[in-house]
Amino acid sequence: MSARVWKYILTMAAVMGLIVGSIGMNAQDARAEELERRVYKVGYVQDRKPVSYMNEDGELGGITRYILDRISELSGVEFEYVALPNGAVTYDYLLGEGFDLVTSVEYNEENKKARGILISDPYLSGQKVIVAREGVEFSFNADLKVAVSTGSQTLKKVLARLFPNFEQVDYDSVEDCLNAMKRGEADLLIQNQYVAEYWLYRPSYESLKVVPIMGLEDKLCFSAVVPLEHTDDSPEWQQKELLIEKIDDAISRMTEDETAMYIIEGTMESPYQFTTGDLLYRYRYAAMVLAAAFVLIIVLICLLLRARIRSMEDRADARAKGRFLSTMSHEIRTPLNGLVGLNYLMTQNMDDRSKLEGYLKQSTATVKYLMSLVNDILDMSRLQEETMELGSSQLNLRLLATTAASLVRGGMGEKGINFQIDVELPYPGILGDQVRIEQILLNILDNARKFTPIGGNVDFTARQELQDNETVLTVFTVRDNGTGMSEEFQKHIFDTFTREMETVSKGNQGTGLGMAISHSLAKLMGGDLTVTSHKGEDSEFTFSFPAPLAIADEEGTEWEKKAEREAEAQTRDAASGYEETPEPGMPEHSLHVLIAEDNELNAEILLELLEDAGITADLAVNGREAVEKFAHSAAGTYSLILMDLLMPEMDGFMAARAIRAMKRPDAAKVKIFACTANSYQEDKEKAMESGMDDFITKPIDIRALLDKLKELG
């Protein structure tokens, strides 16, 4: 073939190549133009704050939105954003609903190789972290339950490969996963670091902790969905490839600083918003305090009605009882008004933590005052009705006196009061009512603390005189250089609800019943409580009472020797200064408690308290159900039963006796604590006779209850 012919052939081939290339370029340009003309439907995950979520306007918000807006600006491609449903989203669903792109897809080998999807380069890189329950130790070889949000299908494959021992449990959302961990249904959650940090701001998740996983990256990308029947050279496939190329080009043009700015803006745009439920959880103990206050108020109202009915029985005594009711009404309404005001202030300042803490402290102090008022009114009522019975048991007066002194030493120290103790009790072993003797001493000691100025002096002395071989007279004296009292007031100091108006105006709050009760108790013991005072100078209270000796010989019993050693140790402790009671910790070993309580609010409070202390608890709504739950449980299931006394169908006394009578090894061993608003001594004795081990009065002293549980644990 001649050179001319070859030259012609080569020329024609070049022309054809140019024509084909031009056609290809024109087709590509056409696809690019179509790409810019279309609006692409983007599906986003709506529960991944701050990465992506549905904002208040029903639109996509978060870090992903900032990045997509920037991609649209750089590429010229327009997007519309549609929220994906919670839970697993299938490939068929995405095709059927016409989604072009999906956000927050994990960038991994599984997705790179998957048929029917094209993935972009990562647009957001970070780390995966472990969220674990307190006490759960992470180990690659441990048999742990890991909570998985059902939208994270490829994550499940990665977890199965990396942690074959983990049992995966599906939940609809990240929040459901965290709640499952809080309930103990799951041990771990493996999640994006930004998402985990957002949710753990919630107060109810304070028991969960974050454990970083070294080397486990979390890269998110966009995914384009293509029908499986389409081949690589089909127009739709090529259109999606071009879309991904445009997105990748835009991502490559964004700097690290720009991406970091979007992360900051997306995170700051969607901080965790505290809900009413969160605030109630954070201040749950305050809610308990307020609930206890209202219970106290109901009790006080009942006492008022009871006193009013009795006042009608004798018209001659009506005026005196009317004054009593008026004074008691004032004593109730004053703190009640404070609680109502504090409650209003708390609702108005929910976002001001410092103010809330101040209001809570004030409400707690007010509730304590109401509790002391209830106790004093009950004591005064029984003393006036002559139904008060004193106990008689062996006690060590030296130990009792130093204990009372140590209890008030802290308050004395806070005011800089010089507190001197001089206890000479050669006959400490007596028979008497330890609770009532200590009550009188604490009343007069605390009274001296309240009315002694800063830097003043309080002297506490004790002396004894042997009356015969069987009886000893003990005299306690408390002297202070405080405000003193007028002669007129000294005539009425032991009357009910009596306080000198000048001291009231100076802010010395009290029920006005303490001195009246102490005086009546001293008389009931066969003794006396007297006072001498000089206005503006000093006051001296003298409490004296006779008591039988607990021993007959001079050597003393082993009991007295042991008590004396305890008294000496107590005296040393008192002399060394006041020490704060340590915070009660959680039991060292897990406990399983059965609560028998018919009041829904009280039951909820007890369950919350025990849950916070890491203690498992079951609830029975009456005595019969408590007996049935114990009977149907395996031996040793329950370590403790908290038993209300007044319940429908079967009361706490009957329930305790029924449990003790069962023919099973733990029936006699399980601890049963009465947990009741009945505070009389006869109620306690009846509880002990029915087989109970301890007696807790309502409103519950939370610290004391946790201390008892710690001892059990």
Q: How confident is the model at residue 147 (pLDDT cuts 50, 70, 90)?
A: confident
What's the start-to-end Cα distance of the chain, in Å? 105
Question: Residue 42: inside a domain, yes or no?
Answer: no
CATH of the domain at 210: 3.40.190.10
If one counts every other C-beta atom within 10 angstroms of the C-beta of residue 682, the result is: 10
What type of residue sits at position 141?
N
Interacting residues of 348 by C-beta distance below 8 A, sequence separation 6+? none
The DSSP secondary-structure symbol of 140 reads: T
Given a cut of 90, whether residue 596 has pLDDT beyond it is yes
**DSSP letters spanning 256-270:** HHHHHHHHHHHHHHS
- Tokens representing 379 are 């004591």
Supply the pLDDT for residue 581: 37
pLDDT tens-digit map of 651-664: 999 999 999 999 99
Supply the pLDDT for residue 696: 86
Supply the pLDDT for residue 658: 93
Q: What is the mean pLDDT of residues 147-173?
A: 78
Is 335 found in the same domain as 264?
Answer: no
What type of residue sits at position 704?
A
Is 480 found in the same domain as 351?
Answer: no
- Residue 6 vs residue 418, higher pLDDT: 418
Is 296 found in the same domain as 266?
Answer: no
The DSSP secondary-structure symbol of 210 reads: E
Q: Is 702 left (phi over 0), alpha (psi -120 to 50) or beta?
A: alpha
Is 503 found in the same domain as 408?
Answer: yes
Are 584 and 415 a contacting pair, CB within 8 Å? no
Interacting residues of 450 by C-beta distance below 8 A, sequence separation 6+? 508, 510
Torsion angle, CA of 153/154/160/166, rounded to 10 degrees?
A: -50
Question: Residue 587: inside a domain, yes or no?
Answer: no
Are 596 and 642 a contacting pair, CB within 8 Å? yes
Given a cut of 60, whether residue 279 has pLDDT beyond it is no
Is 118 found in the same domain as 256?
Answer: yes
Given a cut of 50, whether residue 643 has pLDDT beyond it is yes
Question: Residue 83: inside a domain, yes or no?
Answer: no
Q: Which residue has the tokens 């496939």?
A: 237
Q: Which residue has the tokens 């007295």?
A: 560
Is 115 found in the same domain as 238?
Answer: yes
Residue 266 phi, psi (nearest 5): -65, -35
Domain boundary among 273, 298, 315: 273
Angle at 28 between CA 26 and CA 30, to 5 degrees: 70
Ranking 185-189, 367-371, 445-449 by mean pLDDT, the lowest is: 367-371
Is 154 found in the same domain as 25?
Answer: no
Is 613 found in the same domain as 539?
Answer: no
Question: Residue 55: inside a domain, yes or no?
Answer: no
Is 553 found in the same domain as 407?
Answer: yes
Q: How confident is the model at residue 552 (pLDDT cuts 50, 70, 90)?
A: very low
Residue 252 phi, psi (nearest 5): -65, -25
- Tokens representing 31 are 């696809």
Is 116 found in the same domain as 263?
Answer: yes
Supply the pLDDT for residue 418: 93
- Tokens representing 523 are 């008389």
pLDDT tens-digit map of 665-707: 899 999 999 988 776 777 888 899 999 999 888 777 777 788 8
* Nearest by Cα to 72 from 121, 46, 119, 38: 38
Q: What is the mean pLDDT of residues 632-652?
A: 90
Q: What is the mean pLDDT of residues 276-294?
A: 64
Question: Residue 95: inside a domain, yes or no?
Answer: no
Q: What is the mean pLDDT of residues 213-238?
A: 77
- Residue 597 vs residue 575, higher pLDDT: 597
> Which H helix or E strand runs over 243?
helix 235-253
What's the number of domains the chain is made of?
Answer: 5
CATH of the domain at 479: 3.30.565.10
Question: Residue 67: inside a domain, yes or no?
Answer: no
Percent residues over pLDDT 70 in the chain? 75
Distances (CA, A) of 347 to 231, 378, 514, 581: 63, 34, 35, 32
Supply the pLDDT for residue 546: 94
Is 347 found in the same domain as 397?
Answer: no
Question: Residue 69: inside a domain, yes or no?
Answer: no
Is 422 found in the same domain as 313?
Answer: no
Domain region containing 708: 592-712
Domain boundary among 226, 257, 273: 273
Q: Which residue has the tokens 């109730």?
A: 332
* Cα–Cα dist 390/380, whole Å: 14
* Cα–Cα dist 419/409, whole Å: 7
Domain boundary among 384, 417, 448: 384
* Cα–Cα dist 517/629, whole Å: 44
* Cα–Cα dist 506/508, whole Å: 6
What's the mean per-residue pLDDT of the chain? 78
DSSP-derived 3-state class of residue 691: coil
Q: How confident is the model at residue 4 (pLDDT cuts 50, 70, 90)?
A: low
Given a cut of 60, whether residue 273 has pLDDT beyond it is no
Question: Residue 225: inside a domain, yes or no?
Answer: yes
* Cα–Cα dist 40/101, whole Å: 7
- Residue 580 vs residue 713, higher pLDDT: 713
Given a cut of 80, whether residue 295 has pLDDT beyond it is no
CATH of the domain at 618: 3.40.50.2300
DSSP-derived 3-state class of residue 53: strand
Q: How confident is the model at residue 618 (pLDDT cuts 50, 70, 90)?
A: very high
Q: How confident is the model at residue 491 (pLDDT cuts 50, 70, 90)?
A: confident
Residue 100 phi, psi (nearest 5): -90, -40
If one counts every other C-beta atom within 10 angstroms of the C-beta of residue 480, the result is: 28
Angle at 192 between CA 187 and CA 195, to 5 degrees: 90
Q: How confident is the model at residue 626 (pLDDT cuts 50, 70, 90)?
A: very high
**DSSP letters spanning 466-519:** E-SSSEEEEEEEEEE-SS---HHHHTTTTSTT---HHHHHTT----S-HHHHHH
**DSSP letters spanning 673-689:** EEEES---HHHHHHHHH
* Cα–Cα dist 559/562, whole Å: 5
Ranking 79-93, 340-354, 486-500, 550-564 by mean pLDDT, the lowest is: 550-564
Given a cut of 60, whether residue 505 has pLDDT beyond it is no
Are 638 and 630 a contacting pair, CB within 8 Å? yes
Burial 566-585 (b: 16+ CB within 10 A, else e): ebeebbeebeeebeeeeebe
- Residue 182 vs residue 216, higher pLDDT: 182
Q: Is the dihedral of CA 210, 215, 220, 224 positive or negative?
A: negative
The beta-carbon contacts of 600-606 under 8 Å, at least 24 apart in sequence, are 601/291, 602/644, 602/698, 605/288, 605/291, 605/700, 606/642, 606/675, 606/700
* Nearest by Cα to 278 from 181, 341, 207, 205: 205
Burial level of 135, CB count in 10 A (0-12/13-18/19+)? exposed
